Copies of this chain bind each other. A is one copy, B any other.
């Protein structure tokens, strides 16, 4: 984490040096000593004034734009073009006090950050439900990252319900969650196990391949919905509710589904596009996709990370920011409890407890 210029009393700084810049001379390559960005809101001192950097994210360079007016934005190395002006060194950069990162009107009512499996998940669910109701009412943006464990542990219906009822504005995942959701919708099984009876179905180990083949025949998930072939589940609800989703390809994919974005650079762009403006991210049992999302997400976005493995939760919540909450629990039970709570709790409660 950077130690640069955490300067709460800016008025005391009588003189500020201009940020140094250098030109990009080779596409996709930054100048030496380029400044690598963090998740924290950052200002650069250019032409005698502090500019707030746009599209804040980790591990980018800061590029200046002079048209239409002077501005600064985070730009990935691979996106740098010849002639771009990039900030180098550490002069003229400040990270305002982190406590201002979290706008007061989106105060999150959770107990203080941290990770523990020995904690009352029911309490957390109750407050998350309250926040989701408030967010929906206020038109704030909630993005979910989810892995196939959500389906295997019986959380698929609950996730579909959250989408149907308008609590989710975008879904990010990989090929696998969509395959297993569609397997469940078409065959009633998850990895060949009957989801109602918990027993292996004869020939069931091929269901996920048949699900992939079915969607490939239709052309896309959307067309499978339109043709009435796919008629419930998580992906169905995304199509029906018009909730955008991005499925990022990986080396372990079967198929893949035609919707899966096999180029990971394109997938990152699509993830970033869908994450833009997010107020809350729920990370549900998917370390790979959640790390990807974490890299793109500035401080100030509420993050709730649910996984049964404490090491995953610790890794994802270790952002040096106060807005992430880790919950070590069974994600299937968690989602079912959340939907149950939302059903009971039609209006958000007044929150008496500060974070």
Residues of A within 8 A of B (CB): 1-2, 26, 28-30, 34, 36, 59, 77-78, 111, 117-124, 127, 149, 152-154, 174, 190-191, 193, 195-199, 205-206, 209-210, 212-213, 216-217, 248-256, 262-265, 267-268, 271, 288-289, 291-292, 295, 308-311, 314, 328-330, 332-334, 336-337, 353
- By DSSP majority rule, is chain A's interface helix, strand, loop, or mixed? mixed
> A264-B250, A330-B333 known; A36 and B118 CB under 8 Å?
no
Q: How far is the CA of A328 from the CA of B212 in the complex (A)?
A: 29
Chain B residues contacting A255 (CB-CB under 8 Å) are 77-78
Q: Which of A191, A250, A256 has the largest count of B CB atoms less than 10 A from its CB? A: A250
Asked if residues B308 and A328 are in contact (CB atoms below 8 Å), the reply is yes
Q: Which of A26, A111, A120, A217 has the largest count of B CB atoms less than 10 A from its CB? A: A120
Chain B residues contacting A288 (CB-CB under 8 Å) are 250-252, 288
Asked if residues B213 and A34 are in contact (CB atoms below 8 Å), the reply is yes
Pick the contact of A36 from B154, B199, B209, B253 — CB < 8 Å? B209
CB distance from A200 to the nearest CB of B (A): 8
CB distance from A141 to the nearest CB of B (A): 20
Give 5 CB contacts A-B under 8 Å: A36-B205, A78-B256, A121-B333, A123-B154, A330-B333
Q: How far is the CA of A263 from the CA of B311 in the complex (A)?
A: 29
Given A198-B353, A252-B289, 20 additional A-B pairs, CB 8 A: A28-B216, A29-B216, A29-B217, A30-B213, A34-B213, A77-B209, A77-B216, A118-B152, A120-B154, A120-B195, A120-B198, A121-B153, A123-B196, A197-B353, A248-B251, A263-B263, A308-B329, A309-B309, A310-B311, A330-B333
Pick the contact of A153 from B120, B249, B291 — CB < 8 Å? B120
Q: How far is the CA of A105 from the CA of B117 in the complex (A)?
A: 38
Q: How far is the CA of A310 from the CA of B313 in the complex (A)?
A: 12
Asked if residues A252 and B154 are in contact (CB atoms below 8 Å), the reply is no
Q: How far is the CA of A121 from the CA of B310 in the complex (A)?
A: 19
Pick the contact of A332 from B77, B122, B193, B195 — CB < 8 Å? B122
